[in-house]
Structure 1
């Protein structure tokens, strides 16, 4: 039993005053501080607990009760299970060394001490700025931080939520209380705050925003509506923007020349072609005294295509000649096209274009070139077309006559003449060198034997001055009469009388007429065979002589 007591006594001897309290504790003015011992709570009451500072007794607690110093009444609380002490409403005068003396039951006294440091809490933190009107790249600024109770304090600067540290442009002096930014930029505008801390408290300033004038940068010109070309008389809006503080002032230029317009936006109403050109805007900052000019933007104003027309170099385009057809219009012309049968016309051996298709030239006109030619002129805002009808003049050619070759006496002769000709040919009918009529048709009613013969149709073109002919032979035969049986019987007796005498002569006359026609036809056929290109001109002196001889022979018979 004695051995156990010796061990216990030795144990208490080791802990008395050794690590019972920390070396020091910090407290804020007006706050609360706890002097906490390292003793575990015990169920056995201590015989005595005593706290003091300097010569002052703070509290003594023993079997006789608790005795509190007058100036600590209501400010302290003693925790009798551990011997810890709470001190409230701490004053600067509470700074100093505090001691505790604890006497456990049946053990050596426990003694400890602790230093109390009382600090005034940080308050009234504020930032002052050397200048609030700064110019980017030109100005420097100093921010100073101050606070009440700023003893043993530290300073932390924030730009927004980002900590500001020392750099090439940022310098911290006065223990961090002063921040200097050289050559400010637009992103140095803040907000800046200063956080001040000491051992017992911290506080942060109100944010400070720097006014940094910058720009103008990125001058941009916008056009609405944005088109490649604008029709004369339309409306166009131009606006200019730039990144600038303060807001930029704007001027406008056309082809580098200053306009009277000012402001960030201009409205051009009823724009004219004279207003075409390269527009640009110039931004100006009255604080930085800097200018920035936008990239130029082109505005092209066009008139619509009007008054399209076609002219020909000849009013009488004759086959084999050349002709130029010119297409023009009022307004700015970007493209010309020639079309026929809805297909674009391309250069060929016979077709040549001049002056950017302004002139369509036919080197040698052919009748197949006739047709309706469409000229199409356009610019980006309009298109107009016109039609020119080309009629190639030619002929007459291939003259032909239609009609009977043989009719009976007292019937009507109707002959029709036609030919290939543009314009339509004029027709003249000729018989035996005599002009019968000037028409495409020859009509003779009640034809007699004298109407037999060769008819010539002569076609002529008033423009080409050409003529061409064709011939057609008509034979008018005697009418066949119908007689009754009695008449035939009566006539038969009389005829028998004269038949014998006239037989030889009649046969001779018939043969002569037949031979006459055969000879004449043979003569014509021979002429046609030998002169096929002038077959229609079979009205020669030779035929006339032959005709006269036959007529004389007829009269003799």
Structure 2
């Protein structure tokens, strides 16, 4: 085989040279195999699927393994072949497109397709079949422990350490066995149907493949004759779960050994030598199994029964819920369907005496002690104990939401949604004033009543209308009123970029405002228009004009191509179809941003006035200070007798605020809010100065 591989490679090289010599002479891409298309290989060896081609210089080749691409390459390309990462150690592509397997393994046994494509030429394809074999080693032939005459069948099976079998042959006492009513030759086994004593003898199996062959023999003895049977299930346990695998055996002592037969109602389980192998056992296979032993010579019969219990866990987990009964009572549900046997369900916190199977419920009058109380359902099953919980609660406070849109027929559609978390689910009702809202042309209510749609052409019909939604369950209710109002804006802001060329306007609307769109208006220079000759500007506007229109769901917009050296003013007008609401406040951007013209003029006029006032204030302070200083000076010139007399006749009752000569007045304790006992020192006393005689010199 090695020399054949070398010869094939030489042929491939020769054909490749020929193809290269005559390239361009033919306009048809032709691919053909070199050698056999059915290739045998020994695992661990190297093997090549040789191909040749003509009609192109650098075609693209693809090798497919069982229809899936494994190698892709353009012949002559510097780009490495595209080979799956897990196959790079095994697969190599030769320069002529042939596929080489290095240390090939059994997993590469498959059909391979070689596809070659070239732009402008038809695709060319050829196919191979690769079969990888291992040398057959250590073949062991086995039989059941006991072959009983009259049993249904017994099977001879072979196992081996390694190897791939291409052909097997069975022999009984050196006579070849073919499949018939007595024998069935299957893969790796020989089944003998209805064995008897004549089947005692030597059985031989012959295995072969292109690289090896092995012969193995075994002697088989058919036994008969019953004794008291022994029945057991393995593994031994009180019950089995659905899906388990177990075996139930029926054995008896004696010589020859007896035949055994299992019975289970109308079903006859598979059996071999008195052993039942139950794989993926199901609940319908639970019950009483009877084993019958028969002595074929004496015709004596013995019977014994065994009971199998097969349980199945209920699917999923227990499910708890609470429902409203006439919006007055609470009904607690617990469900855990399926299972064998059915699970036993109970609510211990609600009742110690009531229980049910698979589905269980209890009904109670709604009361405050059940509001917010968590109730647990206990689910008992032989396989598993489980539980679930549910909490009943009254509706919680909620905020209604209002959405506005325009229908295809031009009507305003206002949707009010009221959703309150509650268990059981809250029932929603709608009213307008004292009247209940009923579904019709103008009003539409969703299937769960959480949404109310109001349809009308005239926005004025929505204004000053009050709607009330009530969410209630047996444990309580919550009410909210919705007052619809006309189109309006609650907040308007402006943000600009660092260059001042783009501004972003953002706004909000009141939650209950009916708005279907917005007009974005600007006052100031017109925004530039793009024309064929480039960007141009067209004057400015002294009044607000609409530059964009946005739907009612939009809350921001970007304005581009602004001149930072110019002044712009923006505002947003909310609309409900053709009805306009009050414009938003005006946002301004540009030089002197934040100061109006009047403010600037006021500041300019106020500066000189302020300076003049400061000068006058300084002069007044100076004169006051100078005057006080002159008054505080002590007189040093003589006084007249009249003055002396007036001074000497002064009494101690002179108020302290008339003192002169720099004496300080006593503190005002009334102002300090101190009682006599809180004073830290005695009040100062005023002593008038002694009379002074002054001589007058003339």
Give me the TM-score of the superposition, normalised by structure 2: 0.24
More helix as a share of residues: 1
Give me the TM-score of the superposition, normalised by structure 1: 0.29
